[in-house]
Structure 1
Amino acid sequence: MLWIAIRMLTGDRQKFYGLLFGIAFSTLLITQQLTIFVNLVERGASGVYNVPTADVWVMDAVSRTTDVNFAMPSTALDKVRGVSGVEWAVPHLRGSAAVRTQEGDLEGVNIIGVDDATLIGLPKNMVEGRTDVLAQPDSVIIDDVGVSNLFEDGQSPIGERLELNDQRAIIRGVADSIPSFTSQVVLYTKYSQALRYVPGTRNRMSFVLVGAADGVSPSALAAHITERTGLRARTRDEFAQDGVDFIIQNTGIPINFGITVVLGFIVGVAIVGLTFSLFIRDNIKQFGALKAIGVTNRKIAGMVGVQASMVGLIGYGLGVLGTVGFINAFSANPTFKGFYIPWQIPLISLAAMILIIVLTGWIALRGVMKTEPAAVFR
C-alpha cells in the first residue's frame, strides 16, 4: 500500500514538484530569516567578544552596552584595583570620531583605546601586521571590515595616513574582529593616543577591564566590585547578553523578522495545502477503488501520511540546503562575516514543517475519508 501511495504521488509530477517547492520555499524563508536575525542581534555583543581576556567589565551605573556608555573619571580605575580578588585592571576607551582620508572623504569611525602597557582590549588575531606596531608614533590598527568600507577592493591600508580630530593617524595593522551591529569602521590605538583622537570631555574612561585572580569566580568578583565601588560590574557573558538584549528591546528587528517568519509559515500552508488538496481531488477515484477492494480508512490515512511525510522531508532538506548555500555564497561579504546557522534553527524549521504537513494532510485527508467506494463506478 505504501508503495502505491508513493507511485500515486510521483505520478503527477506537476503537483509533486509544486508540493516540494512550497515546503522548500517555506523552510528556506523561515531558516534564512531566523539565521540572519540571530546573527544580527549577536552583533550587539561583538565589542565584548573582541576582548577575550577580560573576565569582568566595570562601568558607570547608567552604561548599558559597549556602544551605549557613560564615561567615568580616571579615579574609578584606582577604586577597582583596590578591590580584593582583582588580578589586574586596565582602562578602556570607546568613542566615535570622523576621519578624513587622503582623498578627502569623511567617514564615521569608532575609536577604541587599549591599555598602553599590556594592549589588553585588542582582538585576539591579526590579519596583517602585529599588535606591537602600536608602539610606533601615531599608530592605529583597523579592523578587517573597516578596510573594505574605507578603501577600494584590493588596496592595502598599511601605511595609509588618516586625519582624526586634526591629529595624524597611520594605519600599521589589520585586526581580525567581529563586526559591530552597524558594521562601522573601527580603529584601535593606545589609550593615551585615543585621548587625543576622541573629542575631549571632563571624564574620558569608558570601562575598566578586569581579570579575576586565581580561585575567584568572575560572577563573585563582579558582585564584590559593585558592592565596594558603587560602579556597575558585569561578567563577560552577562555584558555580552546585555548587548543582545539592548538591540532586541530598542529596535524593530524582532518584529520585522518575526513577521517574515510568520509569512513564510502562512505561504507554506497556503501553497502546500492547495496543491495537496488538488492532488487528493484528482486521485479521489483511485482512493475510492482501494476502498472498494477492502482497504480500510486506517490504511488510507497511512498512505496519505506517507505521501505528506515524503514531500515534507525532501522539501525540508532542500530548504535547509538552500540556507546553507545562501550563507556560504555571501560569506566573503563583510556584512555577513562570521554568520553561522545555530543548531536550534533547523529544529525550529523542522517543527514548523511538521505542523504545515499535519495541517495540510489533515485537510486533504478529510475528503478521502468521506469518499464512498461507489464513487469509482460513477
Structure 2
Amino acid sequence: MLVMALRMLMGDRAKYLGIVIALAFTSFVMIQQPATFLGILRHTYGFITDVGVGDVWVMDPKARHLDDVKPMMDAELQRVRGIDGVEWAMPLYKGGIRARLDSGDFVQCQLVGIDETTLIGGPGRMVLGKLADLRQSDGIIVDAAAAQGQLAARADGSRRPLGLGESIELNEHRAQVVGTATASSNFQSMPTLYTTYARVKTFLPSERKLLSFVLVTVKPGEDAEKVAAEISRRTGLAAYTTQGFIDRSLRHFLGNTGMIINFAMSAGLGFLIGAFIAGQTFFNFTTDNLRHFGVMKAMGAGTAMLVRMILVQALYLGSMGFGLGAGAGAVMGFQLANVDPHLVFRLPWQLILGGGMAALTVIIVAALLAIRKVVRLEPAQVFKA
C-alpha cells in the first residue's frame, strides 16, 4: 500500500513536480539567505578569530566594537602587564592607511602592527613566505585575496598578483612584500597588511597614540573573566574576554544596522510563498484523489493505513524538495565564495537542521489538512456519482 501511495503521487506528474519545486524553492531561501547573513556577520569579528591568541582584549573604554578603535598611549601596555593574573601582554595596532601602487592607483588598506619579538597577533595561515620574514627591513605581509585582487600589479593593461619582493608605497614610505597570508575579509572589504608595531611608527610618523589593543594571556589556573575585571578596575580601560569582545561587536552590528531585518524579510517572504504553493498543491492533490482513497476504504483499507500513505507521500516530497533546495543553495553559496572571497558563506549543521524542519513542517501541515478529509470520507460517496 505504501508503494502504491508513491505511485499515486508520481502518477500526477504536474502536481508532483509542482510540490517538489515549491519545497525546493522554500528550502533554497531558508538555506541561502541565513547562510549569507551568517557569513556577513563573520566580517564583524573575523579579525579577532584570525589573531587566534590571547584570552583578554584591552582597549580604550570608549571603543564600542572592533572597528571603533580609540588609540591609547604605549604606557598603557606596561600598566596592563603589572596586573596580577597576567601571563603576558602584547601591543597590537589596527588602523587605516592608504597604499600607492606602481600604477599610481591608491587603495585604502587596513594596517595591522604586531609585536616584533614574539610576532603575536600575526596571520595564522601563511600562503607564501614565513611570518618571521616580517622582521626584514620594510617588510609587510599582504592578505592573499588582496594580492590577487585590489593590490594586483598592473602592467601593460594586464593584472598579475602582487608577488614576493615587490613593493608598494605606504604614506610615502617603501614597503616590501615578504609574504602573503589568508585573512578574513573585514566589513569594509579593505586589503589587510601586516607589519611590526615598531614599523607602524615609521609608516605613520604623525601619530602620537598608536596602541589600538593589548592582547593578554592569563596565567594558568586564572579565570579570564576575573582578570579582565581586575584590569578594568586597576587601569580604567575596557577589558573583555575574546568571546566577550566578539559578542560585543556582534551586538553593535545587529543593533545599529537594518541588515538583520532585511534578510529576515527576504527569507520569511520566500518561505511563505513556497510554503503556500507546496501546501496548497499537496492538499489539492489529495482532494483530487479522494475517490481512490474511498475505493481503498471500501475494499477494507483502514483509516490508519490511509493516514500512513499520506504521511509517506508527504515525507517523500519533503525529503526531495529539501534535498534539492538545500543542495542548490549550498552549491551556489560556496561557488560564489570561491569566486569572490568577500562573499563569505557559512553553513553550520544547525542551519541545515532548521531548514529541514521548516520544509518538513510545511508538508506535514498540508498532510494533516488532507488527512482530515480522508478520515471523514465515506466510501459510499465515491459511488454516488
Q: Where on the TM-score scale, by shorter chain, does this alignment land: which range?
A: over 0.9
- Match in the other structure for 2:84: 84
- 180-189 or 213-222, larger mean C-alpha shift: 213-222
Answering whether residue 154 of structure 2 is matched by residue 149 of structure 1, we say no
User: Which residue of 182, 199, 211 corresponds with 2:188?
Assistant: 182
Tell me, yes or no, if the aligned pair for 1:183 and 1:335 is still in contact at 8 Å.
no
One-letter identity of the residue aligned with 2:83: V
One-letter identity of the residue aligned with 1:212: V
* Helix, strand or coil at the partner of 1:92: strand
Cα distance in 2, alignment partners of residues 292 and 134 from structure 1: 83
Count of matched residue pairs: 378
Q: After superposition, where does 1:181-330 map in structure 2 within 5 Å?
A: 181-198=187-204, 200-330=206-336
Q: CA offset at residue 300 of structure 1?
A: 2.6
Q: CA offset at residue 334 of structure 1?
A: 4.0
One-letter identity of the residue aligned with 1:265: F
Cα distance in 2, alignment partners of residues 333 and 239 from structure 1: 31
Unaligned residue ranges in structure 2 (runs of 5+): 154-158
Deviations 1:91-112 (A, max 9, x none): 1111112212111112111111
Cα distance in 2, alignment partners of residues 55 and 165 from structure 1: 33
Cα distance in 2, alignment partners of residues 339 and 194 from structure 1: 33
- % of aligned pairs identical? 36
Output the aligned Cα RMSD.
2.1
- Give the structure-1-normalised TM-score: 0.93
Cα distance in 2, alignment partners of residues 200 and 172 from structure 1: 25
Q: Residues 49 and 332 of structure 1: is their aligned pair in 2 closer, same or farther, counting only changes over 3 Å? A: same
One-letter identity of the residue aligned with 1:350: G
Cα distance in 1, alignment partners of residues 205 and 68 from structure 2: 17
Tell me, yes or no, if the aligned pair for 2:107 and 2:150 is still in contact at 8 Å.
no
Q: After superposition, where does 1:356-367 map in structure 2 within 5 Å?
A: 356-367=362-373
Q: CA offset at residue 356 of structure 1?
A: 0.5
Answering whether residue 71 of structure 2 is matched by residue 65 of structure 1, we say no
* Helix, strand or coil at the partner of 1:330: helix
Deviations 1:282-301 (A, max 9, x none): 32221222233343444333
- Match in the other structure for 1:171: 177
Tell me, yes or no, if the aligned pair for 1:59 and 1:232 is still in contact at 8 Å.
yes
Tell me, yes or no, if the aligned pair for 2:36 and 2:333 is still in contact at 8 Å.
no
Q: After superposition, where does 1:14-29 map in structure 2 within 5 Å?
A: 14-29=14-29
Cα distance in 2, alignment partners of residues 78 and 32 from structure 1: 47
Q: After superposition, where does 1:325-364 map in structure 2 within 5 Å?
A: 325-335=331-341, 339-364=345-370
Cα distance in 1, alignment partners of residues 350 and 204 from structure 2: 41
Cα distance in 1, alignment partners of residues 288 and 303 from structure 2: 18
Cα distance in 1, alignment partners of residues 282 and 313 from structure 2: 10
One-letter identity of the residue aligned with 1:191: Y
Deviations 1:242-285 (A, max 9, x none): 22222222222211111122122212212212321331233222
* Helix, strand or coil at the partner of 2:185: coil
- Match in the other structure for 1:31: 31
Cα distance in 1, alignment partners of residues 248 and 40 from structure 2: 14
Q: CA offset at residue 28 of structure 1?
A: 1.5
- 169-178 or 315-324, larger mean C-alpha shift: 315-324
- Give the structure-2-normalised TM-score: 0.91
Tell me, yes or no, if the aligned pair for 1:165 and 1:199 is still in contact at 8 Å.
no
Q: CA offset at residue 354 of structure 1?
A: 2.1
Q: CA offset at residue 141 of structure 1?
A: 0.9
Q: CA offset at residue 51 of structure 1?
A: 1.1
Q: CA offset at residue 374 of structure 1?
A: 3.3
Cα distance in 2, alignment partners of residues 339 and 268 from structure 1: 23
One-letter identity of the residue aligned with 1:150: L
- 243-252 or 345-354, larger mean C-alpha shift: 243-252
Q: CA offset at residue 336 of structure 1?
A: 5.4
Tell me, yes or no, if the aligned pair for 1:66 and 1:94 is still in contact at 8 Å.
no
One-letter identity of the residue aligned with 1:275: T
Cα distance in 2, alignment partners of residues 45 and 292 from structure 1: 64
One-letter identity of the residue aligned with 1:217: D
* Helix, strand or coil at the partner of 1:50: helix
Cα distance in 2, alignment partners of residues 338 and 217 from structure 1: 33
